[in-house]
Amino acid sequence: MNLVQKMFKGDKRALTRLITLIENQSPFIFELMPKIYRKTGKAQIIGITGPPGAGKSTLIDQLIKLFRHQKKQVAILAIDPSSPFSGGAVLGDRIRMQSHAGDSSVFIRSVGSRGSHGGLSRATKEIVRLFDAFGFDIIIVETVGVGQTELSIMEIAQTTVVVLVPESGDTIQTMKAGLLEIANIFVVNKSDRPDSSELKRQLSEMTSIPILQTQAIKDVGTQELWEKIKEHSESLKKNNKELELKRKAERRGEFLEIVTNEYEKKLKLASHTDKFLKKLFSEVEEGSKDPYSAALEVINKNKSSID
């Protein structure tokens, strides 16, 4: 029995091995993902983002407890800052949500962002698809939390929760554009601290979306957050046009990303073997030719030169 079949039968070792193949961008992905894709579309996918230190992992830990009380199977994909040397996840699974480590209905995986735009690993979408096909009821994607460049989470999550702390008030204006595009729900965590109400007031002046105050470490406001997530999910289902537009944009974006990534890999490989490209790369590196002129030469040249 192959790995995909084993995974469909609930084998978590097979799931783990498939995730590793995806992280390593194995050529097997093009054989794997069409089989996976046909089994997706049932899970509820929640994005949790926000600046470092906002208490995202603690809030997720409380949400997991709530979901498990409801007998839901939960998968968490935590996108960690990558080691500049190994490319691996620095924070890792071992310090996250350890109270659920022995629960067979909870699966936690950390992956390194590897410098990816938006703080999201290039493998994130594919891993989320695996979780969905495996049969998890709820999938949570927790991102690094790098501000405006976090927009990529919208392409994955059905509902995106932006977690802030009262101290975020000083930087809220500089973050405003990105935050408003990302968020379906705002959470002011650590709301027992000073300026919590002031931050909520600032946010309410900027947007009409729900703004909640929580104390994740004390499990205050977790149930209310889940209710708002469900409300948003239900509103999407009722608005079929908006939901279908979102799905179309997601599919289109994923297709373009796959094609772009494959052409990028092909170009990099060809740069070591193709005389035309080797010469261009050398001229750009030495500064005798600017990158734009070199790029235009590649674009205008017959594509067979890099096949």
In the chain the domains, ranked by start, together with CATH numbers, are: 3-238 (3.40.50.300), 250-306 (no CATH)
- Tell me whether strands 44-49 and 159-164 are parallel, antiparallel or unpaired: parallel
Beta carbons of 107 and 15 less than 8 angstroms apart? yes
Q: What's residue 116's pLDDT?
A: 54
Q: What's residue 85's pLDDT?
A: 44
How far does CA 133 lie from the centroid of its chain? 17
φ, ψ (nearest 5 deg) of residue 106: -125, 130
Cα(107)–Cα(64) distance, integer angstroms: 11
Per-position b or e across 68-98, b if 16+ CB within 10 A of its CB: eeeeebbbbbbbbbbeeeeeebeeeeeebbe
**Which token pair is 289?**
């030719």
Most confident range (mean pLDDT) of 35-49, 134-148, 176-190, 288-302 is: 35-49
pLDDT at 86 over 50: no
Q: Tokens 């994005």 belong to which residue? A: 47
Cα(83)–Cα(77) distance, integer angstroms: 17
Q: What's residue 209's pLDDT?
A: 92
Q: Please state, rounded to an integer, the average pLDDT across all residues of the chain.
A: 83
φ, ψ (nearest 5 deg) of residue 90: -75, -45
Helix (H, G, I), strand (E, B) or coil at 163: strand
- Tell me whether strands 185-188 and 211-213 are parallel, antiparallel or unpaired: parallel
Cα(51)–Cα(170) distance, integer angstroms: 13
pLDDT at 168 over 80: no
Most confident range (mean pLDDT) of 90-104, 213-227, 231-245 is: 213-227
Of 115 and 57, which is predicted with more confidence? 57
Cα(254)–Cα(77) distance, integer angstroms: 18
Please tell me what DSSP assigns to residue 2: -
What are 252-274's pLDDT values in tens digits? 888 888 888 888 888 888 888 99
Cα(112)–Cα(85) distance, integer angstroms: 12
Residue type, 21: L
Arithmetic mean of pLDDT, 17-44: 91
Beta carbons of 249 and 110 less than 8 angstroms apart? no
